[in-house]
Amino acid sequence: MSVDTTQAPTTHKALLEWVSEVAALTEPDSIYWCDGSQEEYDRLGAELVAAGTAIRLNEDKKKNSYYFASDPDDVARVEDRTFICSQNEADAGPTNNWRDPAEMKATLTELYRGCMHGRTMYVIPFCMGPIDAEDPTFGVEISDSAYVAMSMRIMTRMGKAPLEAMTKGGDRAFVPCLHSVGYPLEPGQADVAWPCNTEKYIVHFPEDRAIWSYGSGYGGNALLGKKCYSLRIASVMARDEGWLAEHMLILKLTSPAGKVYHIAGAFPSACGKTNLAMIEPTLPGWKAETLGDDIAWMRFDEEGYLRAVNPENGFFGVAPGTGESSNPNAMKTINIGNSIFTNVARTLDGDVWWEGMTDEKPAELIDWKGNPWTPASGTKAAHPNSRFTTPMEQAPTLGAEWNDGKGVRIDAILFGGRRATTVPLVTETSDWAHGVFMGATCSSETTAAATGAVGVVRRDPMAMLPFIGYNAGDYIQHWLDMPSLHENAHMPKVFYVNWFRKSADGKFLWPGFGDNSRVLAWIVGRLEGTADAARTPIGYVPTLDAIDRTGIEDEVDDATMAEVLKVDTEEWQRELPLIKEWFTKLGERLPQQLWSDLDQLKAALEA
């Protein structure tokens, strides 16, 4: 098709050329430039309701909110169809799928040819982080999905404002993100409720700073500002420019004495990251504020401190397990409305429900596949990876700094995972390099956020395994190099936490949720030099009475506390060959420093 860009709402030369090129290839019926307005959001929502793709929820239950059910085969990240197409295969490393970039582009070009027949091509300009930042970071997604356009309005600063900012002071660079559901419509062909294709590709070209996605409409594969840009492409940008793009929450913590600390934390999906980001402390006098629940971009300031910015604008949270008891602040945020719910269950009066929302299950529901459901059905009412997409500004715990382009100074970094044994409740590392070792050996039981087996323990360095945009060994080396990238670097202290340790009879030893504030208080005490710890072969662990248990003494007695803090040398010795196996998999680019650290751990356990 011939494309007239004279009516486009921008003069950005490279953007106009790219839009023309994509339109000529994909042949949409029309081109629409998103402005990010409420009117646009409402109109797209009404169109999707009329098409049978969305259901408008009960206004009295969830104001201005929509329900979507995806195709049952399009419900999660497809890691086996996710590619890092670097120029050299070795630069993708052993943990990523690689294809020759020229061959991949040729393959995808043929798939994209005519793929938007019968559809609207949405041009979605967005900014990662505050638009008024000193050096704002832009992207533009082209998609044939109105669901994507609506979701990107929640998840990013999207539309007219970033488009105008892209030409201030000359045309600014942007990451081009091309997406299609891969379901063209020929004249007279009826659409389906959730268009997608059985053939899926989520492809990153790190040297080009470009993302091409085909065949999936699911959030993580289709909202390309999410993991594709904010982590896979941004991690390469961070390596090249001397900063960190990480899968981390950002939490502002104020002590009873009024001292403010900022904590970044890395946890795999469905391991309590959003719960911690929105924590309601059970310890009197402590205040927690949310600055980010998923992504942190950390750069050195002039004085050598790491400052973190949350590049996102919304929550894309795992619904199951989120409830009044586990995360009351998330529920308050969601209940305001203005949200998109995907693959949850619906109540008969037009609301939503998922496992873990309430202690008692509703008598009747419509499950995520559209079938009648009762507690006797024997199936999950909501998909385990069902999601809520909700504006950050609705969170009652939101800290004002979340929208500050300068970011906040990070005092501590937490790594964590879901381990039933071996790993104690909290460990302080001895220095930055030891923290990198602990982060690089981070392990967790797999979750439903990715397709594949659930409950298998896998290594997940810095909770970034699915999101590192280059060789994992080089990524770990970049972490080790960080202190040398500023002449006066002040690195945060590093801690490792595990809320999920279980007793021999399979019960969680630690109450978690709001009581995790007790662990945060101990961490602050370590930052201030006031909290007690015992040196162990794996690092510094709290002494028996170092964590305040006021109010939970019956639930967590001395014996339970000792168990949750225990460093069992035999368990750790069984861990050593697993770490060795992991390091061997990472290959020759793994820094030698980590092998030395492993030898030191082995010697400490044998001492």
Residues in binding site: 77, 218-220, 227, 247, 269-275, 294, 385-387, 418, 513-516
**β-strand partners of 299:** 307
Q: Which residues are annotated as a binding site for substrate?
A: 77, 218-220, 269, 385-387
How far apart are alpha carbons 170 and 188 in whole angstroms?
Answer: 45
Amino acid at 529: G
How far apart are alpha carbons 395 and 391 in whole angstroms?
Answer: 8
**Residue 221 tokens, joined:** 């594969």
Contact assessment for residue 297 and residue 233, using Cβ atoms and an 8 Å cutoff: no
252 φ, ψ to 5°? -100, 125
Contact assessment for residue 201 and residue 213, using Cβ atoms and an 8 Å cutoff: yes
**What are the residue numbers of the active site?**
271
- The 3-state DSSP class for residue 114 equals coil
Count the helices and strands in the chain (H runs, E runs).
Answer: 16, 31
Neighbours of 446 (CB within 10 A): 18
List, in order, residues 6 or more apart from 126 with CB less than 8 Å away: 138, 139, 140, 141, 152, 156, 157, 158, 159, 162, 225
Three-point CA angle 363, 367, 373, nearest 5°: 35
Amino acid at 259: K
Region of 405 on the Ramachandran plot (φ > 0 left; ψ -120 to 50 alpha; else beta)? alpha
CA torsion sign for 208, 210, 212, 216 is: positive
Q: Which residues are annotated as a binding site for Mn(2+)?
A: 227, 247, 294
How far apart are alpha carbons 60 and 63 in whole angstroms?
Answer: 6
How far apart are alpha carbons 532 and 541 in whole angstroms?
Answer: 9
CA torsion sign for 217, 156, 149, 468 is: negative
562 φ, ψ to 5°? -60, -40
Contact assessment for residue 389 and residue 150, using Cβ atoms and an 8 Å cutoff: no
**Residue 514 tokens, joined:** 């709001």
**Residue 520 tokens, joined:** 């945060």
List, in order, residues 6 or more apart from 423 with CB less than 8 Å away: 417, 443, 496, 498, 501
How far apart are alpha carbons 24 and 18 in whole angstroms?
Answer: 10
Tell the residue number behind the tokens 């604008």, with chain if given: 313
Q: Which residues are annotated as a binding site for GTP?
A: 270-275, 387, 418, 513-516
Q: Nearest Cα to 221, choosing from 243, 234, 239, 204? A: 204
Sheet containing strand 314-318, strands side by side: 54-56, 66-68, 340-342, 387-391, 314-318
How far apart are alpha carbons 577 and 207 in whole angstroms?
Answer: 36
